[in-house]
Amino acid sequence: MSPVFLTLALSLVAADVEPALRPGVELHYRGTVAKVERDRTVEAAGKSFDVAITVAAHDAEGTEYLWQTTESGAGTFGWAERFGRLQQSADGTAPAAEGPALLYDYGKGKHVVPLPAPRLKLSEKPEAGQKWDVDGLELEIVRAQNAAGRACWVVELRNQFGLVGRAWVDQESQVVLQREAKVFMDQGTEYRLALELADVEQLKATDAAQRQADFAALLQLRDKLKRPARTVDAKLSPAQLMTLAAALPAAREAIKGPTSRLLAEADRDLKSQAGRTSALDKLRAEQQGREPAKFAVVGLDGAELTSDELAGAVTVLHFWDYRDEPLKEPYGQVGYLEFLYGKHKDAGLKLYGVAVDTRFAKPDTARTAGVGVRKFKNFMNLSYPILFDAGDLIREFGDPRLQGGELPLFVVIGPDGKIAHYKVGHYAVDREAGLAQLNGVVKSLLPAEKTEATK
């Protein structure tokens, strides 16, 4: 957008009594996230993004925005996390969890990168040298400057460690024209967030009304799914898939504007995930109640397990990669497994981690894979044994990855030597009981636990 046009557009935004933003105004931001090297050079952007922010309402109490993000590169949120409603009060404060955010996959894990609200509230008479505190940060107006043909204030943001960002704020509207911020992820690695206001548009009254209706329908749809804000995993539970299937037809009828592309993604998710869920349900039904074929497997520090040892015991097998890197939360939930093992091992529970890694198939790579498993076990201070599997054992128990699923896989074999429980993916976590579902299965199978329960 040309500086002249941007100047005219921002003048329109600031036409009312300052700091009003006129309802129906849409701000389009564009930005990047890039890694900063040790010599302070900035790599090519690992992620680019766009944010459309529409002013829905404004009064003396503050401003309501409707926002939608588009991401490319280095991971992305699912459709349900790429839109929302943000309330910014008259003093400039806004709930951080309600605003737009990005999802950055840095290889070893995923990091949520919050984006700033479109306005930075200054004092009634801002001037260079003014300082104030907001949410643990010290802000200071360092100078006046022109940006995109507009007079703006350059504001620096600092924490106890020093400078963490800068904002170029329009002097009339207090709209953020540009923003730079340091973002730290992957154990302190620095990244640079940069964004700028690329376009400003005043929507027609009919388009603004439709935008409001579209977001109301989208937010209602997401509320039905009961997804916490900024959920990193794009997968939906079977219950959520059923809810989405029932609610999508009405949403399609209500949503007509640009946000309709989110519904197209929701529809693709529904079809692909429902197909995967159906295949995994079939796999689980095939495995439960089945007696595994003969096998013998070895592992770390002389650990070993044979199929003959299953009968008469309650055995939990946790299939996961057990690599020390890339290390992604929630680490296969091994911490909760360690807790479960400590709680029930005296009652006869056997629990084995199974490190699934094709490198174990070849002697020249098996050692490297084993070193990674040892590092991870020491890092997590695990006491239960860990077995090595190049792929044969997990195929015997039904590899969910062949059906579009992901590890971890939890398999519980009962005293009769048959599979009593089969779970693909992570468990819901109970604050007090940990993996409550798995704990319940184990307790129901252990003879000592059964006896205790009947007393």
Per-residue pLDDT for the chain (455 aa), expressed as one digit of tens each?
A: 333 334 434 444 444 333 347 899 999 999 999 999 888 888 888 899 999 999 999 888 889 999 999 999 988 999 999 999 999 998 888 887 899 999 999 887 889 999 999 999 898 899 999 999 988 899 999 999 987 778 999 999 999 999 999 999 999 889 999 999 999 998 889 999 999 999 999 899 999 999 999 999 999 999 999 988 899 888 888 889 899 999 999 999 999 888 888 999 999 888 888 888 888 889 999 999 999 999 999 999 999 999 999 999 999 999 999 998 877 778 889 999 999 999 999 999 999 999 999 999 999 899 999 999 999 999 999 999 999 999 999 999 999 999 888 899 999 999 999 999 999 999 988 877 789 999 999 999 998 665 455 44
Of the candidates 269, 179, 153, 165, the residue with the CA atom closest to the CA atom of residue 222: 269
| Every domain of the chain and the residues it spans | 3-203, 211-287, 296-454
What's the predicted TM-score (pTM) here?
0.71
For the domain made up of 296-454, the CATH class stated in words is alpha beta
* Amino acid (1-letter code) at residue 246: A
CATH number of 3-203: 2.50.20
231: Cα separation from own chain's centroid: 5
- How far apart (Å, rounded) are the C-alpha atoms in residues 104 and 84? 19
Of the candidates 113, 101, 111, the residue with the CA atom closest to the CA atom of residue 182: 113
Going 194 to 199 to 202 to 203, the CA torsion angle's sign is negative
